[in-house]
Homo-oligomer: A and B are copies of this chain.
Amino acid sequence: MSKPRLRIGLIGSGFMGKAHVFGYTTAVRVFDLPFEPELHTLADITDDAAERAAAALGFARATSDWHGLVADPEIDVVSITAPNALHKEMALAAVATGKHVYCEKPLAPLAADAREMADAAVAAGVKTQVGFNYLCNPMLILARDMIAAGEIGEIRSYRGVHAEDYMADAEGPFTFRHDPAGGGALADIGSHALATAEFLMGPAAGPIVRVSGDCVTAIATRPDGHGGHRKVEVDDIGRAFLRFANGATGSIEANWIATGRKMQHDFEVYGTKGALVFSQERFNELHFFSTSDTRGRQGFRRIEAGPDNPPYGRFCVAAGHQLGFNDLKAIEVAGFIEAIAGQREEPFGFRAGLRVQSLVETIQASSRSGSWKDVP
């Protein structure tokens, strides 16, 4: 194995921390990457926690000092999966020492912060990545390519939703996700719905240029963890009407109190010649309607993911066997590593994270004012 090493420093070891590790681990075997990732150092809140996680996840070293990790000259890439409020400080510190940075979404609580981070990365000449893993799904890539190629004609309308139920219990505690600075369903999962909308529609319909927002707090207070209740000011449901540059219109909904929904990241796109319908609940399928099918034989067709849909074939040579959530993360990692090697553009760099954050804030501002807003 003569490949150069890419030494990873990971901050955080929860859901997303593990997902990053699984991503690095799988990516290096599945793809023919220019670097061999090496799990170098893991930082967590305490030394103990860091050591346990490092042992479990295969890192050579552990630390409770993320500043040290970020400054360590042996480390090439910093993976940030700490709470949102820390993203900015960590990323700026890593960028300042010339590290490439892979940061979980949302990039930062506020667009202004995200902009500062994106600018710093450009200035430092490092590569960046934000974790919009749903966009790594071969079926979303297929959908985007079909739309761009005109397979469903000119695009007229879009309907997107991202609904889950992890905040449906009103007795669930107040967390950092409820923090007025950057929290709420729209920021947390609506960001996925918005990223998907622009990813799919962009090449054919252009970006979202104007929005009308409807952000709703459905659960007024939540337990504060000290026997009392704390007022919730962020949205549990965030909706928006959308205008795309080409005149197409649409809507998205983010809802984290949708009882029974675990992963309803769905969309429907309608064009002059066809339609595409997708549900993340069955994310290895894309449903395609085409008016060019023979009359009397038309219908929504269930395309199953297979080697015709790169990079599916890297994982499995036979169609219909299905990728999993962690596989999407491996595709995300692979794209980032290829970008570090200069083999491709950053798939979803800080600039893309900033863009989503701007959409979120514009929708929030529109909701507060009760009127349409142009997206800056």
Contacts and interface: CB of A to CB of B under 8 A. Distances in A.
B325 A316 contact: yes
Interface string A266-293: 0010111111000001110100111101
Given A25-B29, A270-B258, A315 B321 contact: no
Contact of A324 (B25, B57, B274, B327): B327
A64 interface: no
Interface residues of A, number: 94
Given A249-B218, A281-B320, A271 B259 contact: yes
Copies per assembly: 4
A221 interface: no
Contacts of A22: 26, 29-30, 315
Contacts of A288: 297, 299
Interface stretch (A98-106, A224-232, A302-310, A346-354): A302-310
Contacts of A282: 282
A364 interface: no
Contact of A320 (B56, B168, B236, B262): B262
12 contacts: A14-B317, A26-B326, A28-B58, A157-B258, A214-B241, A258-B275, A260-B275, A260-B289, A262-B318, A281-B320, A298-B301, A324-B325
Given A262-B304, A281-B304, A297-B303, 5 more contacts: A15-B318, A25-B28, A251-B251, A300-B301, A323-B325
